[in-house]
Chain A
Amino acid sequence: DAGVIQSPRHEVTEMGQEVTLRCKPISGHDYLFWYRQTMMRGLELLIYFNNNVPIDDSGMPEDRFSAKMPNASFSTLKIQPSEPRDSAVYFCASSLYGVDQPQHFGDGTRLSIL
């Protein structure tokens, strides 16, 4: 079991650039979550999918953020255009049994927007 795989691990880019974060969930897990972690706000749920369908995107901060899950083994979180306040660690997690069941996290993408 390879676990949840995220790429890249680190991303540094300039304000205004497009940023794409990638996630491969654990095979067979029907739920996929995107979180953002900052010192000020802690761990926030941005969006989650069930069977590749976005179920709740109420945590997406604004229209600059978008997420897709084209198939069961791949998801992306895109920020366009990026701003310095988007700097954070972004985590992807997957769950086998449900939205309120144990989640398996990737090691995150540390994003810095200059």
Chain B
Amino acid sequence: SQQGEEDPQALSIQEGENATMNCSYKTSINNLQWYRQNSGRGLVHLILIRSNEREKHSGRLRVTLDTSKKSSSLLITASRAADTASYFCASSGNTGKLIFGQGTTLQVKP
């Protein structure tokens, strides 16, 4: 069974707005990571948050982790057209391997 589920499946916003994506997972984790995938390209690692952290920032990215709810969120502030991509969460399950969610497709309109 899949470790991560993401919500929403698709999101369309205007440039300058904020985008929030959510991820839920099923078992205890060591860390949770977020990746971006542009069309026709491989995944690019964005940020890692450890199980004992609650919030982490990297530039315009803010990630939160709630281990009691087994969920994480990715916030992209002041979005740009170049942020258009699919975003995936990946949780390190009890096997240690990364399990990827189905992803959220973000479209940022100029």
Q: Which residues of A contact B (CB under 8 A)?
A: 4, 42-43, 45, 48, 56, 91, 93, 98-108
Contacts and interface: CB of A to CB of B under 8 A. Distances in A.
Given A42-B100, A45-B97, A100-B92, A107 B45 contact: no
Interface of B: 2, 30-31, 33, 40-45, 48, 88, 92, 95-103
A102 B48 contact: yes
Contacts of B40: 107
Contacts of A91: 42-43
Given A48-B97, A56-B97, A99-B96, 8 more contacts: A43-B100, A91-B43, A93-B43, A99-B98, A100-B92, A103-B45, A107-B40, A108-B41
A42 B101 contact: yes
A106 B100 CA distance: 16
A52 B69 CA distance: 38
Q: Which 6 pairs, one residue from A and one from B, show the smallest C-beta to C-beta distance?
A: A105-B42, A100-B92, A102-B45, A43-B100, A105-B43, A42-B102
B51 to A, nearest CB: 11
Contact of B98 (A45, A104, A107, A108): A45
B72 to A, nearest CB: 15
Contacts of B92: 100
Contacts of B31: 100
A41 B96 CA distance: 20
Contact of B42 (A45, A48, A99, A106): A106
A107 B41 contact: yes
A104 B41 CA distance: 12
Most buried by B among A100, A101, A103, A107: A100
Contact of B96 (A4, A100, A102, A107): A100
